[in-house]
Structure 1
């Protein structure tokens, strides 16, 4: 049965354990002119096996992935730190492997980044954030319990605190910027190919003033010979998120499935397409049943069939939604671009903004985004 309770709105517009070596290494400030690519070559030589890593040569998303399962992540992760990650919209970037980054040196990094921001501010390079600020205090901390495999490095949380210039002396500093670096279920072939001096935390999220984001990235690039780049959430990734979140409906109601499309007309036409959760689930279930029939015909193992989702199911689900919309409104969404998807479990935008609203499915979402970040890194 196709979705029947969708409501279109259209408007025209003009626009655990520390996973780094235990031997502490104090990272010295490296030459600004030394590039990430040069540091790789100097450490690995011209015949580096990184050049032949499958993760770098087969640059496409997986066509099959495990169906999401509910994780009571609060049993493993500090609830206070988890609360900082959930229900905040993050701007995503990818970051190349960090040279000589050590999880055992986080206190030192806190002091170094604080001093770096103060020096840049003194030179007039750091713009004021939410009005004049006295000083900035930086804190690096470990978010243990999120790593899913032995090859994943533990997640690192960064916070910048400050208080207004004319604040009372007893007034506490408040957070003005937050960020994190993570690797969840990273490609094992790629991670194992890295030499021991490189730590891979490819997914970077930030929330706060862009000026502070720029400073944090600049500090990482200078101290760890890495590079950052924007991480868009592609049309295919948005479709995967729709399918994965809808698959969770029986355990945690998605409440709605909302899509925002942009059609290439003049001026651009923006279409908001909202589907009732039960209708979305019914369509998704029908797509899954079709796969089950095919698998039985092919004598596949039942457990394997139930625990995986294939790209054919994702595209079938999307095609069903688009066909239903066309029957009612005579608009072919295939001609446009999918810019945003959202459910009660989270929201994602093509421009690289993600909000995770339910911690039970955070691992599923971050696994997909980690894969996207690894594929975006320069070869």
Structure 2
């Protein structure tokens, strides 16, 4: 133990270490204020009362390599993304991505001329921006195609033949988005609620600023809640028989002074046995393949309680008093600070489905 001081493109148990322009008012402003000014959506801005689903399909191995290009797939997996949620984009068109890339390049160049520091590990030549559709990522009819944003550059004194390297990447996506919400949006709006970025923060800020000015949207950090982290722990454990999760590692923070951080690592076989034991007995009896393929949040809670009880018996520390800050397995990792890493291409869809749900819950209605 240790104490921490710290295709068609469309637009629609067992080791432990303790340590988104309106005619009158900006649509974006109405989102930000969440007060009484009406937006072009014709809705009264307010925070949605919806909650995370209490039941969801168990993730299954899904070979997206057959639909997604290797280049795009390599950018998606084994990279840690910083997450944000994005309000619907006004008059965004997937058919205009090349034009958007030129505009964003010009915007970054203009900001540099105004003296803003946009350096990446030293002085850089001009930045080249590309926007592309990630074909094969949509799951539901209402989902808009995923958009990948890349910024390339090379050092100022690099040789002329040296190719530009990727210095920043961004992802706008919607996987299995809530159909009721998506279909309620006017046709001029495109909903890509989940935004991920990797690279230096000043480039992230410039990209978000350009999108906000161009499509009247708003960005805000997307933290991964305690409940969502518990879902990740259960969903990844459920994948163990198809893909060895190798470990279930959790980071908890207990509210003492100074804060006590607990790293709790569970043997994958022990985690699987516990998960199997808490599954709803009626589903085991075969009430239909579709029902048996669902996971209820009650099962997730029983699973987490089993883990916490085991920990208490051995270390006399009640993790229920603390907060779950991080979950990781060989399939990926999720942090409460809003960072996600997808380590296996076979479960990208399942991970992005849950994160899309989390982002949509931030949307005013």
Distance in 1 between the 2:281 and 2:29 partners? 47
Distance in 2 between the 1:294 and 1:280 partners? 19
Partner of 2:342: 356
Question: Per-residue CA shift, 1:252-296, capped at 9, x if unaligned?
Answer: 0000000000111111111000000000000001111xx124775
Structure 1 pair 38–320 and aligned structure 2 pair: CA distance change class (3 A): closer
> How far off its partner does 1:124 sit?
1.1
Q: Is the 8 A contact 1:30 1:222 kept in 2?
A: no
User: SS state of the match for residue 211, structure 2?
Assistant: helix
Distance in 2 between the 1:362 and 1:311 partners? 21
Question: Per-residue CA shift, 1:161-211, capped at 9, x if unaligned?
Answer: 000111111111000000100000000000000000000000000000000
Please point out which of 318, 323, 340 is paired with 1:332.
Answer: 318
Partner of 1:158: 149
Partner of 2:293: 307
Give the alignment's TM-score, normalised by structure 1.
0.89
> How far off its partner does 1:51 sit?
4.4
> How far off its partner does 1:374 sit?
0.5
Distance in 2 between the 1:214 and 1:52 partners? 25
Please point out which of 43, 54, 70 is paired with 2:40.
Answer: 43
Q: Is the 8 A contact 1:117 1:126 kept in 2?
A: no
Distance in 1 between the 2:331 and 2:5 partners? 30
- Which structure 2 residues correspond to residues 226-305 of structure 1 after superposition, within 5 A? 226-288=217-279, 291-293=280-282, 301-305=287-291
Distance in 1 between the 2:99 and 2:139 partners? 27
Gap runs ≥5 in structure 1 = 1-9, 22-28
> How far off its partner does 1:331 sit?
0.2
Gap runs ≥5 in structure 2 = 13-20, 32-36
> How far off its partner does 1:101 sit?
0.4
Q: Is the 8 A contact 2:61 2:347 kept in 1?
A: yes
Distance in 1 between the 2:364 and 2:107 partners? 27
Partner of 2:16: none
Q: RMSD in angstroms over aligned alpha carbons?
A: 2.1
1:180 to 2:171 alignment: yes
Distance in 2 between the 1:43 and 1:267 partners? 49
User: SS state of the match for residue 175, structure 2?
Assistant: coil
Q: Is the 8 A contact 2:84 2:219 kept in 1?
A: yes
> How far off its partner does 1:37 sit?
4.4
Distance in 2 between the 1:105 and 1:218 partners? 19
> How far off its partner does 1:376 sit?
1.5
Q: Is the 8 A contact 2:30 2:45 kept in 1?
A: no
Partner of 2:93: 102
Partner of 1:370: 356
Distance in 2 between the 1:37 and 1:307 partners? 42
1:66 to 2:52 alignment: no
Distance in 2 between the 1:270 and 1:124 partners? 42
Number of corresponding residues: 351
1:322 to 2:308 alignment: yes
Distance in 1 between the 2:22 and 2:210 partners? 11
1:87 to 2:78 alignment: yes
